[in-house]
Amino acid sequence: MPSTHTQSAGQASRQPTLEDVARQAGVSRATASRVVNQDPRVGLPARESVEAAILSLGYRPNRAARSLVRREADSIAVVVPEAEDRIFTDPFFSAILGAVYTKLADSPVQVLLAVAPPGKREKIERYLRGGYTDGAIIVSHHLDDGISEVLRETRLPSVYIGRPYAGDVGLPYVDVDNVRGAEMAVRRLVDGGRRRIATIAGPQDMAAASDRLEGFRRAMAEAGLEDDLVEVGDFTAASGGECAVRLLERDPGLDAIFVASDLMAVPALQELQIRGVSVPEQVAVIGYDDSEVARLARPPLTTVEGRAAGLAHNAVEMLSDLMAGKTAESRLLSTNLVLRESG
């Protein structure tokens, strides 16, 4: 009696397999596999028996195994390790998601959004380990989010949008040249006669933010200017406004601000105007991303192209190659300065 209890507990604790399904349905494993993979050659009685066993056991097909059988992908996940409110308010994420959907519009592949808020790492780990998707595109990677370790262990085909902060994590990425983009922005300000140039940087546990700050400092050094006016935001609109206020308090005579994202730059511009500082006459402002908010700002925001659509399209192409058993090399896209009225 005790041994029977131990066996039952062991069976209940593990994930039911295809062999379990076949045994309960009274068919061969090959027949059960054909039903799972929607092979029309299976007769109705056998199909109904297998489907009933799947329902009874709670069997969940392994998507990676199904892809090997069918030679095609069923779904990919866009994984964003950010809080929900940021994902749905930052135009960068909506641009990325829209471009991924557009790229896959004519394919049978479903696009799923997997959100991993800070402090809930186990949620996304469970999802990525569970075989729910055939591949992943990771957006907005943070240094300590732990995703790269899970991807390496599961060998899930994966591509990063944005260079992983942790360096060589053994996974391909596509990114824009953030260092050069920031350098172009600062050189524009210097060429316009600005000398007391500040920056509102993004969170420094992200490679994009770190690279943009590095580009700012390189260009300032090249121009022989001090780079001490730095405030660090978190890529949210609120932080952009708060950082602008702190910069003005530190140096009321500053004459330009390079901001590491448009979403932070527009509130910064507004805070200047609220305090009677004219843009660009007194203080020039340049953002980063060339998002819709940059075009709607008053005055319209000069900004660096973030190339969201290009990043997404390249990521989909690279992931498709990986899921087809091919290799994919990391890609670095060039960027340009979009000149408008703010700087």
221-267 pLDDT, tens digit per residue, is 999 999 999 999 999 999 999 999 999 999 999 999 999 999 999 99
Note whether 85 and 54 are same-domain residues: no
Q: Are residues 34 and 138 in the same domain?
A: no
| Overall domain count for the chain | 3
Q: Locate 191 and state its tokens.
A: 């060429």
Q: What pLDDT sits at residue 133?
A: 85
CATH number of the domain at 272, please: 3.40.50.2300
Q: Omega before 40 cis (within 30°)?
A: no
The pLDDT tens digits of the residues spanning 153-192 come to: 888 899 999 998 765 567 899 999 999 999 999 999 999 9
Residues 169 and 314 in one domain: yes
- 342, part of any domain: no
* 0.75 exceeded by pTM: yes
Q: Which residues pair with 201 in a beta bridge?
A: 232
Residue numbers of the domain that contains 49? 2-61
The tens digit of pLDDT for each residue in 287-327 reads: 999 999 999 999 999 999 999 999 999 999 999 999 888 99
In a domain, 343, yes or no: no
For position 7, which CATH number holds? Answer: 1.10.260.40
Residue 161 and residue 233 share a domain: no
- Whether 135 is in a domain gets the answer yes
241 part of a folded domain: yes
In a domain, 215, yes or no: yes
Spatial strand order in the sheet of 110-115: 110-115, 75-80, 136-139, 158-161, 173-176, 331-333
Residue 202, pLDDT > 70, answer yes
